[in-house]
Amino acid sequence: MTVTPNPDKHVAQLIDANLDRAREGLRVIEDWCRYGLQRKDLIVTIKNFRQQLGQCHKEIYKQARSASTDQGSGLTHLAQQKRNDPLEIVFANCARVQEALRVIEEFSRSTDEKLSNVASQIRYEVYELESNILKATRGNVLRKKLQSCKLCLVTKPHPELFNIVSNALKAGITMVQYRCKKEIDSNKVSQAQKLAALCKEHRSLFIINDRVDLALALDADGVHLGQEDIPVDIARNLLGSEKLIGLSTHSLEEAKSAQDKGCDYIGFGPVFKTNSKPGLNPLGFSSFKELSRSISLPWFAIGGINQKNVSQVFDEGATRVAVINSIMNEKDTYIATQTLLRN
């Protein structure tokens, strides 16, 4: 459709100003998705928005406005100076884009139908974009916590479960996996809720073993799956991109496959003979170096690791370990946890 010059020059000026405002705001958001989130899918979406608006930014609008006579040029607000967090800046620019597109939509409706429709469509899509950026940012926070994690406590049924987990968290543990092999009932849900609250209080990752439904219900940080559990791709579709998915692996081939499937981390073992996995032969340390070369995922050595052998596990190349009995079965779980973390 040919753009009809608006008889009111002031309307053309405000359309031009808001096209500039929307495109500038989108560029701020795009750069954060590129450098801060490293999300190609979001970058492509935003770049497409900018291109659409650029194609609609006709000369009639550009020639109507002079920056030197613009009474709003250079005006700022105190709120702009208080935005120190990248997410605050991104969301402020999302609002800026939405507001600018609304102005364009209203004032171009009668003279530039195409521009009005494009502005309306992008405005609604920016609402979804904002939600996706929030999820991606949360996912980044979880993955940074995962990268820095050295010790994961995998729980088992115990009458003093809350005291054990609480002491482990106070001692410095940064990841707890709630493991319950029996059917989930209201008592198990209540137990998991209390553990989730404990982990949140200590800013520790809280992972649910096997049960994606429980992880969703509790808004847990992720789920840990076994080789026979729900497939990783289905779990990802249910949980979304921001949540963590771990997978138990017992060979180099399974570890490489876990990375290809899009897991965030793996458990690798058993390193030593353990009653928790009686049907599996211990892997020892021979695969550690090849594992580190073959995958970029964080991996946790698991299986029979305790206070006596944990230093050897780290010396052989592991940087993270997961334990059950060496905390859950100890009388002083605070000291037991600290001993594991000191190595």
Q: Which residues are catalytic?
A: 179, 248, 277
Are residues 129 and 137 in contact, defined by beta-carbon separation less than 8 angstroms? no
How many Å apart are CA 143 and CA 133, to the nearest integer?
15
Residues ≥6 apart with Cβ < 8 Å to 188: 180, 182, 214
Are residues 151 and 337 in contact, defined by beta-carbon separation less than 8 angstroms? yes
Q: Are strands 205-209 and 299-302 parallel, antiparallel or unpaired?
A: unpaired
**Cα Rg of the chain (Å, integer):** 27
Give the CA angle between residues 212, 141, 258 to the nearest 5°: 50
Closest CA to 215 of 264, 159, 195: 195
How many Å apart are CA 131 and CA 187, to the nearest integer?
34
Closest CA to 333 of 160, 194, 145, 149: 160
Are residues 220 and 208 in contact, defined by beta-carbon separation less than 8 angstroms? yes
Q: Are strands 244-249 and 299-302 parallel, antiparallel or unpaired?
A: unpaired
Strand partners, 175: 152, 205
Closest CA to 43 of 116, 124, 136: 136
